[in-house]
């Protein structure tokens, strides 16, 4: 490049390769071997293969390691073995609180099982997601995809390389964690029917969302069973803002109860309807999905079909870790139960007046 040639002017603070920043380089197994008076390979075994060396040398080595306060170099270990004790989690959108709980669940399980979590997001784009996934694949032992936007086939290709677990979607041949919408939705619809509602609107989520399709199916089925009329409305995006925007369609639909693809839509919708002077739930009932953080901050607090998101995250992590350790079914689907959380935003319809 355009660098001056004077060699001694090159390194200002001179971060000599190995020395992290200041003083001494980190201790290696060779240092330990020297201190303990044994061979490096013996140190390696003492530190990773329990029972392979005699108790005496074990102690010798451990003492030396402690003295030098040795820490394994994860890269040196990963290079020959391929194991990193790390797994990746890719979410569609970090902005979306749905994923907060999933992240938390996965993170917790990771820590407990002595793994490290690496996080990435796909910005709701299948292409970005695939890129992120590919990049991650190189550094992790396995991957969790939460609400993936990429094709089934892409997922399967990834899964051939290393264990992959999918959340909120079912992909043939890949282990999945999916909330079973049935119970929660039928509870919700039955509750609405019992409160005198006859026409229910469903505000759908993104087109590519597998989950949105399942929820609409569930709503249709439950409405049919309870002999309610169900109409589907589209949203522009699955956010609070999207909820506000769909408000006029909701009013135009003539439905007296609304289920939305997720809580954010429900919250935005409720805000907009209230701003227009409607009273919730007297004039319209609103039911969300997921029971995200903050769903009970609203007035009235939001009735919602709870998906145990934290459980999804930790369940997926457990599935993955089991897979990594050889136990666990490589094509198991973990179904978690949904349930209605009845709060104030749904209830009996008051006669107009």
For 95, phi then psi, to 5°, come to -65, -25
Euclidean distance between CA atoms 249 and 245, whole angstroms: 8
In this structure, the chain runs to a length of 353
Query: Can residue 111 be called a binding residue for a copy of itself (CB under 8 A)?
Result: yes
Binding to DNA, residues 32-51 (CB under 7 A): 38-42, 44-45, 47-49, 51
42 binds, among a copy of itself, DNA, none (CB under 5 to 8 A by kind): DNA
Three-state secondary-structure class, residue 87: strand
Query: Can residue 21 be called a binding residue for DNA (CB under 7 A)?
Result: no
167 strand-pairing partners: 146, 177
Distance set, CA 174 to CA 99, 245, 315 (Å): 21, 36, 14
Terminal CA-to-CA distance of the chain, rounded, Å? Answer: 79
Three-state secondary-structure class, residue 193: helix
107 binds, among a copy of itself, DNA, none (CB under 5 to 8 A by kind): a copy of itself
Task: Out of 34, 62, 68, 72, name the contact with DNA by CB under 7 A.
Answer: 72
Query: Can residue 81 be called a binding residue for DNA (CB under 7 A)?
Result: yes
116 binds, among a copy of itself, DNA, none (CB under 5 to 8 A by kind): a copy of itself
CB of 70 to DNA, least distance (A): 7
Euclidean distance between CA atoms 296 and 277, whole angstroms: 21
Instruction: Extract the tokens encoding 29.
Output: 């197994």
Query: Can residue 82 be called a binding residue for a copy of itself (CB under 8 A)?
Result: yes
Are the C-beta atoms of 312 and 102 separated by less than 8 Å? Answer: yes
Task: Out of 18, 21, 24, 160, name the contact with DNA by CB under 7 A.
Answer: 18
236 binds, among a copy of itself, DNA, none (CB under 5 to 8 A by kind): none
For 314, phi then psi, to 5°, come to -70, -35
Euclidean distance between CA atoms 185 and 191, whole angstroms: 10
CB of 1 to a copy of itself, least distance (A): 7
> Could you list the residues that contact DNA (CB under 7 A)?
18, 25-30, 38-42, 44-45, 47-49, 51-57, 70, 72-73, 76-77, 79-81
Residues that bind a copy of itself (CB under 8 A): 1, 12-13, 17-18, 20-22, 50-51, 71-76, 78-79, 81-82, 84, 86, 94-95, 97, 100, 103-104, 107, 111, 116-121, 134-136, 138-139, 160-163, 267, 293-294, 297-299, 326
């Amino acid at each position: 490049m355009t660098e001056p040639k004077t060699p001694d002017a090159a390194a200002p603070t001179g971060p000599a390769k190995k020395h992290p920043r200041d003083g001494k380089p980190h201790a290696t197994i060779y240092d330990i071997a020297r201190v303990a008076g044994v061979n490096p390979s013996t140190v390696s075994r003492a530190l990773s293969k329990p029972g392979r060396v005699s108790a005496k040398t074990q102690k010798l080595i451990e003492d030396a390691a402690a003295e030098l306060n040795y820490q394994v170099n994860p890269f040196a270990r990963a290079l020959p073995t391929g194991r990193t004790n790390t797994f990746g989690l890719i979410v569609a959108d970090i902005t979306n609180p749905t994923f907060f709980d999933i992240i938390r669940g996965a993170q917790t399980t990771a820590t407990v099982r002595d793994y490290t979590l690496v996080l990435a997001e796909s910005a709701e784009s299948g292409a970005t997601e695939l890129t992120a996934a590919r990049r991650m694949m190189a550094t992790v032992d396995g991957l969790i995809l939460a609400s993936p936007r990429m094709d089934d086939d892409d997922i399967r290709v990834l899964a051939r390389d290393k264990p992959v677990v999918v959340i909120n979607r079912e992909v043939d041949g890949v282990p999945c964690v999916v909330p079973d919408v049935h119970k929660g939705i039928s509870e919700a619809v039955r509750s609405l029917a019992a409160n005198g509602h006859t026409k229910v609107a469903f505000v759908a989520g993104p087109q590519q969302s597998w989950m949105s399709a399942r929820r609409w199916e569930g709503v249709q089925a439950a409405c049919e069973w309870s002999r309610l009329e169900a109409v589907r409305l589209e949203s522009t995006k699955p956010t609070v803002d999207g909820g506000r925007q769909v408000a006029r369609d909701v009013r135009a639909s003539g439905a007296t109860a609304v289920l939305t693809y997720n809580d954010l839509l429900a919250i935005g919708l409720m805000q907009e309807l209230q701003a227009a002077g409607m009273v919730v739930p007297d004039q319209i009932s609103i039911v969300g999905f997921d029971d995200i953080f903050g769903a009970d901050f609203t007035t009235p607090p939001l009735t919602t079909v709870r998906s145990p998101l934290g459980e999804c995250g930790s369940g997926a992590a457990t599935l993955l870790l089991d897979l990594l350790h050889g136990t666990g079914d490589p094509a198991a689907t973990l179904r978690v139960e949904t349930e209605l959380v009845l709060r104030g935003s749904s209830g009996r319809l008051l006669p107009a007046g």
